[in-house]
Amino acid sequence: MLHVVNSAIDGQPRPLDEPYARQLARGYRGLQFEQPLESEYRALVDEEQRRPALVCAWAGLIIWSGFAAFDIFRLNLAGRETIAPDIWVLLGARWSVLLILAGYIFLPLRNRIRVGTAGFLIYVAIGLVVAITTVIFKTNGLLAADTAQIVVVMAAFLPIGMTFYVALIASLSLVLATAVAGLIYLPGPQLAGHLGLTLVMAMAVPVAAVGGYLREHAHRRQFLLGALLARQAQFDPLTDLANRRLFQRHATATIAHAHRVDEPLMLAILDLDHFKQVNDRHGHMAGDQALQQVAEAIRDAARGPMDMAARLGGEEFALLIYGCDRERARPILDALRQRIADLPILPGGEALSISIGASMLGPDEDLTTLFARADRLLYASKSDGRNRLRLD
């Protein structure tokens, strides 16, 4: 069962992982997510299928090289006094595809192009060349590998980065190109057989498409479930702040970076005062709502790309601010403490207070020692009477 948090917009309960949970509940029979989930999913597909697409390109290069080498003997190029223009077209088209495949495999440029885009362009190029060369072979009275076209039609649904609908368009374009090429260049006796081939190719498309659709539908479900699980493993379900595990991982990396570039860094530990009494007097629902509003205030203080706010557990929070020296730290934390004190978040307008202990990153210090110093300062601020800030 999904936990809920209060929306910052209208105060209504929202699922913690609203975009993923909403999409999962609504379904996606059309294989299309809402934005920005669709962009996120396509980026994942691009990353996951980069290696399979390279394997497919290698396979295509090897197979296509075999056809290109066989052309030399099948067309008897050495025994021809002159080579007809259509044969030159066939050879040029065949070797152009070889160059395209080799370029994709060996040139670093492929890492800058989306796999889906490259897959679509290469597939369409192969499809058009197959359609043209098949017709040229037939017009020259040579045996054409008709069954190869059926294989190429179905290959659109291989893991080469194309989503289902893009693959469907690509495969249908090959069927259309084959039909048009036959209608333009083949005489009547040969055209009937060629159109029969086109019909078989058209029938092969839905056969391959069913598998492609089911595979992508299952993959999209795995994407949503994986995103839900990943987020729930890293974020607190009540406040939607980072949990202790994520905070420790992020803070460790940020501290290491701060040491490398010699940047200041501040870690603050914050604890709500007398929070047990709030739950006892007003109930746990009121306490949860108070925690959510306090979390929102702490989240607003973490504005930088390397800053992070987290709920460590219970009524204890952490705030990491990168590039923050002692002079900046005090007004930020004082303003945060005062903002929380001014929030009428309990029934009857009763306010809460918070105690803060904050420490600045020392030379060669790790998260454990930095956290321990901030924690000692937190308890010192509570000993001073609570609603206090102690900054080392």
Q: Which residues carry out catalysis?
A: 315
CA distance 32 to 28: 6
Of the CA atoms within 13 Å of residue 335, those in its CB half-sphere come to: 10
CB contact at 8 A, 29 and 164: no
**Sign of torsion over alpha carbons 280, 286, 292, 296:** negative
- Contact assessment for residue 374 and residue 358, using Cβ atoms and an 8 Å cutoff: yes
Residues 6+ apart with CB under 8 A from 166: 116, 120
CB 287 within 8 A of CB 275: yes
Q: Which pair of tokens denotes residue 14?
A: 């929202």
Alpha-carbon separation of residue 310 from 207, 335, 337 (angstroms): 50, 18, 16
Give ∠ CA 195-94-71 in degrees, rounded to 5: 85
Give the angle 69-75-77 at the CA atoms, nearest 5°: 85
Task: Give 30-72 as a DSSP string.
Answer: TS-PPTTHHHHHHHHHHHHTHHHHHHHHHHHHHHHHHHHHHHH
Element (H, E) at 356: strand 354-360
